[in-house]
Amino acid sequence: MTAPVLNVRGLSKRFPVGGKRFVNAVNGVNLSIAPGETLGMVGESGSGKSTLGRVILRLTEPTEGSIEFNGHDITHIPIGKVRPLRRDMQMVFQDPWSALNPRMRIRDLIAEPIKLHMPLSRSERDDRTEALARRVNLSTSLLNRTPANLSGGQLQRVCIARAIATDPKLIVLDEPTSSLDLSVRAGILELLAEIRDETKAAMLFISHDLGTVRMISDRIAVLYLGEVVEQGRAEVLFESPAHPYTQALLSAHLPADPAIKVTRHVLEGEVPSPIALPSGCKFHTRCPVAIDRCRSDIPPTIEVPTGQQARCLRIPDGGNIIQRKEPA
Amino acid sequence: MTLLVVEDLHTHFISRDIDNRTRVAKALNGVSFSLDAGRILGIVGETGAGKSLTAQSVVGLLRPPAKVVAGSVKFEGRELTDMPQAELNKIRGAEIAMVVQNPRTSLDPLTRVGDQLVRLHQIHSRGSQADSRKRALEMMEAVGIPDPESRAKSWPHELSGGMAQRVLLAMSLMNAPKLLIADEPTTGLDVTVQAQILDLLRDLVARFNMATMIITHDLGVVAHFCDDIAVMFGGSIVETGPVAEVFAAPLHPYTRNLISATPERFQMGGAKALGGQPPDLFNLPPGCALQSRCAFATDTCRNPVPNIEVTPGHFALCHYAGKLDAEPAIEVRA
């Protein structure tokens, strides 16, 4: 077992909203990612997925907890010392149109991180820029264009080329394919998987789309109201989800194949406000198998027999499985 | 009973360039389909394929420079394309209702939601204000809004995304429409809320026997909530048929490619995904719009493309429909 690239312990982020109230975006998250591994992070809007990605890269300051990157604690080091580290930790954002400066040429956009982080001569830099463009399957004839001339899929390839330009050890991808059409999306995911296998970079893949996450992830963490409610190997999580929320989330996912019949556990209501978090288990307000104890006791993270970790008080007594309703 | 018949619909964007030459973007190129009461048709396609434009052309909501230049839209036998606006206004919001993608921007921010429902009912019925209010509460209840009495007094900004979409659905039902057009009704909603809204929509379609058109880019929604599917590409319906059949045996190379790119079918590293640029609507090639991206394209594809019925009700707009081997296009290419 190699040492993890990223090791996060008890990480929390609270945003003040006035009057001593806080948005509890991330609450005590533990996770680690090994080199060459992809951790998929799923959750609904407001579950804190994007905030978590930003806090890990110190784009947003954490409130509590620790972030260990490549063996060094980077939680409290001054931001001036974080910047050189960014060579090894990169990010790809959801919307490639707003992530790229519309007035720069594609060539300069890809060369920018090289200029910042790598002491290369001008011709070496040009060579590397063109090699990167070819690596992400972008025609080098596009290098002198500006972003307005490229399609969404091509722009996302530019963003990926920028992210891998400095051979980072960790890449955080925040919904990198959500704004793309289906046929383009598959190509981008394949490219990411190839890059991961070639460079052994660790990836944190944030998405709300379970189908996409399943395609690329080795392990998956499910986030609900800023808390990891279940974490484990992707195939285990999809085959035998332990937490009632994971079960509901998986059953709400519609596979794009009418031959796959889905059993639905439709959850009542919507996600509670992260300003006034529910007591006890944060999921008890929507949980179909909640008992009285769930309202008062905070569930610990426990190891499930199938191998994953989950936070649910009903796992020991076997009451965590939502019973299938017979179709009416 | 066939409620809506769309035949050979052509919609163009006609503009002038800097030298005052006319430029025409052929956005819809001969769209034909029909819809029966109680059926749900899912329209899918990539950005710019003409999904939303089809809906807007059907209900006459086009704004210049977009214009229906040919074709017909018959709703219960009445031609809609040349109907005067005043007459269309009597049909829209009453017999034909529409639910759009962004629920919050479709509600009037300065009117309580209950009053918006009442207002829509008053425009189309001669009943009293009290009757309209009673119906508004009934419809809010039908779409599963808890405590409709107090919710009716809410302002749009007080609603969550899911709740706002329910209000829009309630609004679309106010005048008991025969045809419901839902343009990306669940895009932007969370999956657990999407499941609630889609279940509700399906119940309502069955209960009120509405003909329904769902426009979406999510094949999962089509696979589990629609009876029929129409796949659009380059302003044409390239394949249409019953959902189970189209997913099991797609005929058109574009549909095959689309279905094989879904997470359920896609094999990582197994084959190269076929992406490519959408066709240039200002300069469409003669014949098939897909020819530059298609692995099967031949010189024949430059000729006008026939719409071939391969099995009953399952059509594909392709010279080679039903003649391609069973392997999906992307594997041939790899």
Query: What whole-number distance in Å separates Cα of residue A40 and Cα of residue A26?
Result: 16
pLDDT at B328: 44
Contacts B217 to A, Cβ<8 Å = 181-182
Task: Kindly give the pairing relationship between strand B228-233 and strand B40-45.
Answer: parallel
Query: What whole-number distance in Å separates Cα of residue A26 and Cα of residue A64?
Result: 10
Query: Between A182 and A69, where is the model more confident?
Result: A69
User: CA angle B231-B236-B241, nearest 5°?
Assistant: 35
Q: Using the structure block, give the residue that is written with the tokens 């606006």.
A: B85
Three-state DSSP at B222 gives helix
pLDDT at B257: 84
pLDDT, tens digit (0-9, with 9 covering 90-100), for A236-271 = 999 999 999 999 888 888 888 888 877 777 787 778
Query: What whole-number distance in Å separates Cα of residue A173 and Cα of residue A162?
Result: 13
Residue B170 clears pLDDT 80, i.e. is over it:
yes
What does the pLDDT average to over B277-285?
82
pLDDT at B31: 93
Residue A199 CB partners (closer than 8 Å, separation 6+): A164, A167
Contact A190 B196 (CB under 8 A): no
Residue A327 clears pLDDT 70, i.e. is over it:
no
How is residue A17 annotated by DSSP? -
pLDDT, tens digit (0-9, with 9 covering 90-100), for A17-60 = 888 888 999 999 999 999 999 999 998 877 888 899 999 999 99
Nearest CB partner across the interface for A215, out of B191, B218, B263: B263
Query: What whole-number distance in Å separates Cα of residue B259 and Cα of residue B239?
Result: 12
pLDDT at B197: 83
Contact B192 A266 (CB under 8 A): yes
Residue B334 clears pLDDT 50, i.e. is over it:
no
pLDDT at B137: 93
Nearest CB partner across the interface for B195, out of A194, A215, A252: A252
Give residue ranges of A with CB < 8 Å to any B CB. Answer: 44-45, 151-153, 181-187, 189-190, 193-194, 208, 210-212, 214-216, 248-249, 251-260, 262, 264, 266-267, 270-271
Residue B317 clears pLDDT 50, i.e. is over it:
yes
pLDDT, tens digit (0-9, with 9 covering 90-100), for B244-278 = 999 999 999 889 888 888 777 776 655 554 556 67
Q: How many helices (H) and strands (E) does chain A have?
A: 11, 12
Query: What whole-number distance in Å separates Cα of residue B55 and Cα of residue B221?
Result: 18
Distances (CA, A) of A215 to A86, B248, B297: 27, 21, 30
Summary mean pLDDT of chain A: 89
Q: Could you report the predicted ipTM of this complex, rounded to two decimals?
A: 0.72
Nearest CB partner across the interface for A264, out of B195, B248, B262: B195
Q: From the CA of A72, how many Å to the nearest CA of chain B?
A: 34
Which residue of chain B is at minimal alpha-carbon distance from A212?
B263
Q: What sign has the CA pseudo-torsion B92, B96, B102, B104?
A: positive
pTM of the predicted structure, to 2 decimals: 0.81
Which residue of chain B is at minimal alpha-carbon distance from A253?
B191
Contacts A266 to B, Cβ<8 Å = 192, 195-196, 199
Contact B46 A182 (CB under 8 A): yes
Contacts A190 to B, Cβ<8 Å = 268-269, 272-273
pLDDT, tens digit (0-9, with 9 covering 90-100), for A160-208 = 999 999 999 999 999 888 877 777 888 888 889 999 999 999 999 999 8
Query: What whole-number distance in Å separates Cα of residue B189 and Cα of residue B162?
Result: 7
Could you give the percent of chain B with pLDDT greater than 90?
43
Query: What whole-number distance in Å separates Cα of residue B25 and Cα of residue B48?
Result: 11
Which residue of chain B is at minimal alpha-carbon distance from A43?
B190
Instruction: Grade residue B325 by pLDDT with cuts at 50, 70 and 90.
Output: low
Give residue ranges of B with CB < 8 Å to any A CB. Answer: 46-47, 160, 162-163, 190-196, 199, 217-225, 243-244, 247-248, 257-259, 261-266, 268-269, 272-275, 277-278
In a mutational test of the A interface, the residue from B47, B262, B265, B272 whose CB has the highest number of chain A CBs within 10 Å is B262
Q: Using the structure block, give the residue that is written with the tokens 């300065």.
A: B110
In a mutational test of the A interface, the residue from B46, B224, B245, B267 whose CB has the highest number of chain A CBs within 10 Å is B224
What does the pLDDT average to over A282-303?
91
Could you give the percent of chain A with pLDDT greater than 90?
60
pLDDT, tens digit (0-9, with 9 covering 90-100), for B33-75 = 999 999 999 999 888 888 989 999 999 888 888 899 999 999 9
Q: E strands of chain B, at which residues? A: 2-16, 22-36, 40-45, 66-75, 78-79, 96-99, 179-183, 211-215, 228-233, 236-242, 307-311, 314-317
Contact B261 A259 (CB under 8 A): no
A49 in Cβ contact with A247 (< 8 Å)? no
Most confident of A183-187, A203-207, B155-159, B207-211: A203-207
Which residue of chain B is at minimal alpha-carbon distance from A189?
B268
Which tokens go with A72? 């060094």
Which residue of chain A is at minimal alpha-carbon distance from B262?
A256
